[in-house]
Amino acid sequence: MVSHFASWGKSLTPRKSLSYDARPMHDRDPRRLLCLVGWVWVPLLWGVGASPACADGFRNPFQGSAAIGQGNAFAAQADDPTAVFYNPAAMTRLRGIQHAVGVQFVSPHTRFTSPSGAQTTNDLGGPVGWPPPGQLYLTANLERSGLPVLRDLSLGLGLLSLYGFGNKYPERAPFSSTSYQGSLPLLDIKPTVAYRVSDRLSLGLGADIFTFASFIGEGQTESLSISSGAGGIPAGSRVELNGKGTTAGLNASVLYTLMGTADRPRVNLAGVWRSQAVLPVRGQLLVDGGPVADASAKFLLPEVWTLGLAVWPLRDVDRAWKVEVDVDYTRWRSVRNADVALSTGAVITNPQQWNNSVSIAAGTEYKWLRLPDHEAWQLALRAGYNRSHTPIPDANYNPVIPDADVHVWSVGLGLFCQQGGRFLGLVDCGGAGGGWLTRKAIGLDLAYQLLLFEPRTVTGHPNPGVNGTYRTTTNAGSLTLRINF
């Protein structure tokens, strides 16, 4: 994700030098604050916070290990609790109560080379970004409730980090006056409901509640930069912009079995729509830790359409082989501006030039439903490929999120055991009895991703320090634990 105040350099630079004003916020000249904020607020809103795990702006659509292992081609399968994200309509195909918790360990490496040949790399302070993206899902099929009116209804809840964690460069990076560190630990709370219209057709409807929580990162979005001396801020000062807010959006989905049955489909067709949402962000601008102004803006989260087609060339009581292709269309073109309102009453307008983007995912899963001599166990092998194009032009580029066209290669492994098996030799996978809270099965999904970003050479950026070539490679590991009741 990209856009920054450096793009306003000429229009905001005052005619004469301004010295930093240490007076209280309400006593300061609004023109000074206008120039001051102009260099740092957009990095907060449009230039920070997403894990560089994909080239789809600042979205992180990888939200479950079974899906990740298949290149994220999962909307038409979605046969575990991560259906809350990938396709809520598929929750009607999940029996009983199912729970999943997952985490991704992401290690992005970006090397920047300036036109003069100087180089710098990002530094996460460890082998992976922290806090790592994570998810929690819970689904409940009400078929066993005993109430006929509820038998076709399923409920779900998801907690996930849809917009990544953060990134960091050395403070002396050539582009540090735009941004050298940022994070957007935004939490997505997803209450969902699904209804089985017929044996072949299911519909889903849910909400996306976007907010910040103290247990994720700093509990707010943050952007840090080093003053170049513009706007009267002493050169070399550390400038921070932080903020938080809450908003909501909607999602709707469909899953239709063209061939086969709901329990054993041969061809599935899926569609998912996620609405646009506008997140109001309110926070403070600080210089060397001291507050300078209150500021607010609106942070647009884009509308997304997903279509998926899954085919099972092989399916019997012992094995299942699936091939799926999904297409994501994200309406980034709706990102047209990043206006900022200051506590002084001044308003800064900042036009954007984003483009809509398309991501294509192809994946496969080969599953042994009954292992020889271990009939309580299932084993799944997965592989996938995802191709995404960046929606961000050079004029809005921000090095904290080195977005570029990317090729994503994935592999995965799934282990699933039911009554009669012992998980890792320690815990019975399933217990006796038919109660709602009797454990029926345990599953563990593992995945690995290699994200090869195409080298991107940025030219003509309003901040010359951003111009240069960015080469990014990301390694990511994912783990999801499932428990069925």
Residue 12 is predicted with a pLDDT of 34
Residue 203 is predicted with a pLDDT of 98
Tens digit of each residue's pLDDT (9 = 90 or more) over 49-75: 444 445 555 667 789 999 999 999 999
**Number of Cα atoms under 13 Å in the Cβ half of residue 277:** 20
Query: pTM for the whole thing?
Result: 0.85
Q: Which stretch of 92-106, 382-396, 424-438 has the lowest confidence by average pLDDT?
A: 424-438
Residues 246, 238: Cα–Cα separation, whole Å: 27
Residue 347 is predicted with a pLDDT of 66
β-pair partners for 384: 363, 410
β-pair partners for 309: 269, 325
pLDDT band at 348 (very low <50, low <70, confident <90, very high): low
Q: Please check the confidence at residue 179 and state whether its pLDDT lies above 90.
A: no
pLDDT band at 44 (very low <50, low <70, confident <90, very high): very low
pLDDT band at 8 (very low <50, low <70, confident <90, very high): very low
Helix or strand or coil: residue 90? Answer: helix
DSSP string, 275-290: --EEEEEEEEEEETTE
Q: Please check the confidence at residue 108 and state whether its pLDDT lies above 70.
A: yes
Highest mean pLDDT among 14-23, 209-218, 342-351: 209-218
Q: Please check the confidence at residue 31 and state whether its pLDDT lies above 50.
A: no
Tens digit of each residue's pLDDT (9 = 90 or more) over 429-455: 887 766 677 888 999 999 999 999 999
B/e letters for 70-85, b = 16+ CB within 10 Å, e = fewer, are bbbbbbbbbbbbbbbb
Helix or strand or coil: residue 388? Answer: strand
pLDDT band at 33 (very low <50, low <70, confident <90, very high): very low
User: Containing domain of residue 243, as a range?
Assistant: 5-484
What is the domain count for the chain? 1
**Please, what is the average pLDDT of the chain?**
83
Tens digit of each residue's pLDDT (9 = 90 or more) over 110-124: 999 999 998 999 887
Q: Please check the confidence at residue 410 and state whether its pLDDT lies above 70.
A: yes
Residue 48 is predicted with a pLDDT of 38
Q: Please check the confidence at residue 389 and state whether its pLDDT lies above 70.
A: yes
Q: Which stretch of 186-195, 235-244, 251-260 has the lowest confidence by average pLDDT?
A: 235-244
Residues 260, 135: Cα–Cα separation, whole Å: 31
In which region does residue 85 sit, left (phi positive, over 0), alpha (psi from -120 to 50) or beta (all else)?
alpha
Q: Which has the higher per-residue pLDDT, 303 or 37?
A: 303
Q: Please check the confidence at residue 130 and state whether its pLDDT lies above 60.
A: yes
Tokens of 96: 């009983």
pLDDT band at 350 (very low <50, low <70, confident <90, very high): low
Residues 6 or more apart whose CB falls under 8 angstroms from that of 369 comprise: 317, 318, 319, 320, 378
CATH of the domain at 227: 2.40.160.60
Report the 10 Å Cβ neighbour count for 225. 30
Residue 314 is predicted with a pLDDT of 95
pLDDT band at 315 (very low <50, low <70, confident <90, very high): very high
In which region does residue 468 sit, left (phi positive, over 0), alpha (psi from -120 to 50) or beta (all else)?
left
